[in-house]
Structure 1
Amino acid sequence: MKNMPLEQKEQKRFVVCKTDALPSGERLLIELGGKKIGVFNVAGKYHALLNYCPHQGAPLCLGPITGTTLPTDKYEFIYGHEGAILRCAWHGWEFDIRTGDYLVKPNIRVRTYKVEIEQNEVVIYI
């Protein structure tokens, strides 16, 4: 039996806001196509995450935006990724806003959505 290519699902396009309405370090919570989504500006790059923590279903995108300590071979603390980490307010699970990866186990992720900038507008595809 031949491997059949997966059918690509057509994504819907949603204009969220003008780029200047979402400054660096800020977030916008929206509902699109029945999904609650957080849109983030991390150092001038826009990202969208499902507002649902995979741990226990908390509204993830309401949590604090922070940085975190970085891995090191020495006995020291190095802080990094400022403004790129979203911490769940319920239990403290930390996710990279840019990728959706859970920092402790990258095989656990929060759903991300494609974001494009088109004519100074933030556009999400879901």
Structure 2
Amino acid sequence: MTRHVVAEASDFADREIRRVEAGGKAIALVRVDGAFFALLDRCPHGGAALSGGRLAHQVESSGPGDYRICRRDEMLRCPWHGWEYDLKTGQSWSDPKSTRTRAFAAENVAGDELVKGPYVAETIPVTVEGDYVVVELP
């Protein structure tokens, strides 16, 4: 692993998304509640720069008309098609086979029983050392 200083932590606003370069790779660097997250700055679905996206909440529901926000600003939404990627794991819950308009049978199941989408954004280890944000690339 090679380590690269990519930003000064004190210059980074909370909930800011910034494109940085390290080791010839474009990285979407995000700060949420003081923690830093780094994803490869390319949506694996359509190729958009994720750094141009917005933060989104994860929403849970126990049934129709009931919903609650459970993870504030922990998803990064692609600016092109709105696909969302978990900042911690890069996992998307979108699937191109289910994005068209079509009727399906529906049932109430626990969240851990859902099928994950086929796309996963590449995550990059990130730490803060002193006042510097450091990413680790293979």
With the shorter chain as reference, the TM-score category is 0.7 to 0.9
How far off is 1:106 after superposition?
Answer: 5.4
- CA–CA distance in structure 2, aligned partners of residues 51 and 38 of structure 1: 5
SS in 1 for 2:89: coil
- CA–CA distance in structure 2, aligned partners of residues 65 and 29 of structure 1: 14
| Structure 2 equivalent of residue 95 of structure 1 | 85
Which 5+ residue runs of structure 2 have no aligned equivalent?
95-115
| 1:74 alignment partner AA | G
1:111 aligns with 2:103: no
The equivalences for 1:1-126 within 5 A come to 11-70=1-60, 72-75=61-64, 76-104=66-94, 105=116, 108-126=119-137
Contact kept, 8 Å, 2:6 with 2:21, in 1: the verdict is no
SS in 1 for 2:91: coil
Q: 1:106 to 1:120 in 2, by over 3 A?
A: farther
- CA–CA distance in structure 1, aligned partners of residues 33 and 93 of structure 2: 19
- CA–CA distance in structure 2, aligned partners of residues 85 and 30 of structure 1: 19
Q: Which runs of 4+ in 1 moved over 4 A?
A: none
How far off is 1:79 after superposition?
Answer: 2.2
SS in 2 for 1:47: strand
Contact kept, 8 Å, 2:6 with 2:22, in 1: the verdict is no
| 2:59 alignment partner AA | T
How far off is 1:80 after superposition?
Answer: 3.1
Two-structure CA RMSD over aligned residues (Å): 1.6
- CA–CA distance in structure 2, aligned partners of residues 79 and 120 of structure 1: 32
| 1:59 alignment partner AA | A
TM-score, length of structure 1 as denominator length: 0.82
SS in 1 for 2:124: strand
How far off is 1:111 after superposition?
Answer: 0.4
How far off is 1:107 after superposition?
Answer: 5.2
- CA–CA distance in structure 1, aligned partners of residues 37 and 117 of structure 2: 18
Which 5+ residue runs of structure 1 have no aligned equivalent?
1-10
